[in-house]
Amino acid sequence: MSTIVLLTMTGLGLGALYFLIASGLSLIFGLMDVLNFAHGALLSIGAYGTWWAASGNLPGAGADGPGFVLAVLFGTAVGTLAAVLLELAVVRPLYTRPREQVLATVGVGLAVPALLSGIWGSDARTFPGPQALSGTFGLLGAEVPVNRLVLIAAAVLVLVALRLFLGRTRHGLVVRAGVEDRAMVTALGIDVRRAFTLVFAIGGCAAALGGALGGLYFGSVDPRQGTSLLIFAFVVVVTGGMGSVTGAAVAAVVIGLVQQFANYYTAAGLGDLAVVVLLAALLLVRPRGLTGRLA
């Protein structure tokens, strides 16, 4: 029983991490038809930004208490800024050429991890975190690490915020309409470009937050972390149905749980394979993903 509880919590924590990356990815894809290969790089930037600040390089920030919150905020802010810059400098000039937009993000996705490993080395760095988040708590007889809860809470918060934003605000309306039919929104005289930048900023913010919290989850940061998580986020986006935030949330939970349980009850590493097999099986039955959105 305690094993199952622990696996469930860990799986949900991983799923939360996947959701933080996949939500932005899914929105960007739905709105712009751009598969953002630099999204993993945004995650890495957030992780390194937080690590850098929490290691005592930013006045007021530190590894504990409010200092750590400041460090996470700093990392997230840097990631958001990087996302906006990415959109303005790399993606926007290729507005009419979706395929070239994808290719350009591939270039950024190669360059940023290389730059990070150039500055801080390619080896993993220990991630500093508050004492309160490194311990465990008892749940139904299992000792669950606290950081799993933090990740799950952050993902739920982002999901609620995104749904409120998309459902209740004017900007959200434009984004939702753009995901459904970009041509129509443009024809109505609404500047979709501003929505593009906004969606990139939101996506970058969520991904960078995922990077900061992913550091807690894994206990370390390394330049390749973002890219390897990105691939599972892709699986989540396809499984969930592209452009759907709720679909991404459901898929992230399923993928995270399947991966953890398969890794534990079969051989280590088979969980990663199981996820891909699951994707293949789903596509054979429902080529459009769980929610039946465009693919």
Partner 1 sequence: MSTATQTPDRTDGGPALTVPPASGRAARLLRRWPVAVLVVLIVAPFSALPLPGLLDGPVGSPGSLQLLATCLLFGALATGYDLLLGRTGLLSFGHALYFAAGSYATNMFLLEAGLPFAVAAVLGLCSGIALALVLGSVSLRVTGIGFSMVTLAFAQAGSILVSRNPGGLTGGEEGRAAPAELLPSSLVGIDNTANLYWIALAYLVLTLGVVHWAVRSPTGRVWEGIKENERRVEILGLKPYGFKLTAFVLAGALAAVGGLVHLLLTGGSTPQTTTSDFTLSLLVMVVLGGSGTRWGPMVGGILYTWADHRLGDLAGSGAVAELPAVLRVPLSQPLFLLGVLFVAVVHLLPGGLARLPSRLRRPRKENP
Our CB check for partner 1 shows the closer of 58 and 294 to be: 294
DSSP tag of 88: I
Q: Is 94 in the site for partner 1 (CB under 8 A)?
A: yes
| Least distance in angstroms from the C-beta of 35 to partner 1 | 5
9 exposure class (CB count in 10 Å sphere: 0-12, 13-18, 19+): buried
Smallest distance, partner 1 to C-beta of residue 31, A? 13
The bridge status of strand 136-139 relative to strand 125-126 is unpaired
Q: Does 235 bind partner 1 (CB under 8 A)?
A: yes
Return all residues near 39 (Cβ < 8 A) that are at least 6 apart: 21, 24, 25, 28, 105, 109, 203, 207, 226, 230, 233
DSSP secondary structure string for all residues of 164-183: HHHHHSHHHHHHHHHHH-HH
Q: Could you tell me which stretch among 70-78, 100-108, 152-160, 203-211 binds partner 1 (CB under 8 A)?
A: 100-108
Taking the complex as a whole, the smallest distance from the CB of residue 194 to partner 1 amounts, in Å, to: 22
Sign of CA dihedral 205, 207, 210, 214: negative
Query: Segment near partner 1 (CB under 8 A), from 77-85, 104-112, 140-148, 213-221?
Result: 104-112
Asked whether position 279 contacts partner 1 by CB under 8 A, the answer is yes
Residue 237 touching partner 1 (CB under 8 A): yes
Q: How far is CA 256 from CA 77, 131, 159, 275, in A?
A: 27, 26, 16, 9
Q: Which residue has the tokens 């939101």?
A: 202
* Residue 68 binds partner 1 (CB under 8 A): no
Considering only residues 255 to 274 of the shown chain, the ones binding partner 1 according to CB under 8 A are 267-269, 272-273
The H-assigned helical ranges of the chain are: 2-32, 39-52, 65-85, 98-120, 131-134, 146-168, 170-180, 182-187, 192-218, 225-240, 245-265, 270-285
CB of 198 to partner 1, least distance (A): 21
Binding of partner 1 at residue 100 (CB under 8 A)? yes
Q: Which stretch binds partner 1 (CB under 8 A): 94-102, 159-167, 179-187, 258-266?
A: 94-102
Provide the CB-side half-sphere exposure for 198 (13 A, CA). 18
111 forms part of the interface with partner 1 (CB under 8 A): yes
24 sits near partner 1 (criterion: CB under 8 A): no
Please tell me whether residue 183 binds partner 1 under the rule CB under 8 A. no
Judged by beta carbon, residue 165 or residue 264, the one nearer partner 1 is 264
Q: Contact positions toward partner 1, by CB under 8 A?
A: 29, 33, 35, 37, 90, 93-94, 97, 99-100, 102-104, 106-115, 117-119, 227, 231, 234-235, 237-238, 242, 267-269, 272-273, 275-277, 279-280, 283-284, 287, 295
